[in-house]
Amino acid sequence: MRKIICSLILLFLIYACKSDYVGTDSANTGRGGSTARFTIAKDYLYIVDSQSLKVFRITEPENPTFIKRVPLNTVVETIFPFEGHLLVGTQTGMFIFSIANPEEPARVAVYSHIVSCDPVVAEGNYAYVTLRSGNNCNRGLNALDVVDIRDMSRPQLVKSYPMQNPHGLGVDGKLLFVTEGDFGLKVFDKTNPNDLKLIKTFEDFTAFDVIPDANVLIITGKQGIYQYSYNAQNELKLLSKIPIES
């Protein structure tokens, strides 16, 4: 387990430092997968633990300064930065925080759902939330929710799609990638959020999370971290693999 955690941290830091991964806030905004538990925005590091959001100033990376802890009073799982906001996935809903004042995250809204594991990503006018049963989420269901976030203060469910056992997800242009654990990877056309089209399912590997970028997918699975190329025909080609011992 320690090797898995170290590999994922390394993967995040590599992508956070790439010039390709500039966010809408700043060139210093990092990007991780949908199941990430920390993110970088400008000169600040945001970390979620089991019950809260923590803020650190990293203007001196070798000596980070703890700023504050924001209690959420629910089981917190993931964090995703988006256009001056943090989308925090919890087992009871997606919390939206403004970081206009980076040292004082301000709660804007909560998109609530039944108890379920809850990774989240966003692009354009929509957030995509996976709900998964199993493990400590055994009261949940397996679904993909599309949420309209044009008004961050009033997130609205557009449509919910049944899934098998969704874990992580990623977006790239018109494509939406959803990892399904032992059921592999699904690729959707998300041009119409009211009518997502399943393009293809890849079932020859276990997939937990995915980061798409410029026709390359980084996928975490049981046996390691994979790098695949993909094209307009949605063909996947294995480029490399970092094996991980359990």
Are the CB atoms for 143 and 82 separated by under 8 Å? no
Average the pLDDT over each of 37-51, 89-103, 146-160, 230-244 and give the range with the smallest value: 230-244
- Residue 2's pLDDT band (boundaries 50, 70, 90)? very low
C-alpha–C-alpha distance, residues 77 and 91, integer Å: 7
196-199: long-range pairs with CB below 8 Å, 24+: 196/144, 196/146, 196/159, 196/161, 199/175, 199/234
- Report the pLDDT averaged over residues 227-241: 89
Tokens standing for 13? Answer: 């830091």
CA–CA dist 157, 121 (Å, integer): 14
What tokens does 62 get? 């070798």
Domains of the chain: 2-243 (2.130.10.10)
Q: Which two tokens stand for residue 27?
A: 């060139």
Name which residue leads in pLDDT, 51 or 140: 51
Q: Which helix (H) or strand (E) element contains residue 10?
A: helix 2-17
Report pLDDT for 135: 58
Q: For residue 27, give the 3-state DSSP assignment.
A: coil
Higher pLDDT, 192 or 13: 192
Phi, psi torsion values for 168, nearest 5 degrees: -110, 175
Render pLDDT for 74-100 as a digit per residue (tens, 0 to 9). 888 899 999 999 999 888 889 999 999
Q: Which residues, 6 or more positions from 50, have their beta carbon under 8 angstroms from its beta carbon?
A: 75, 76
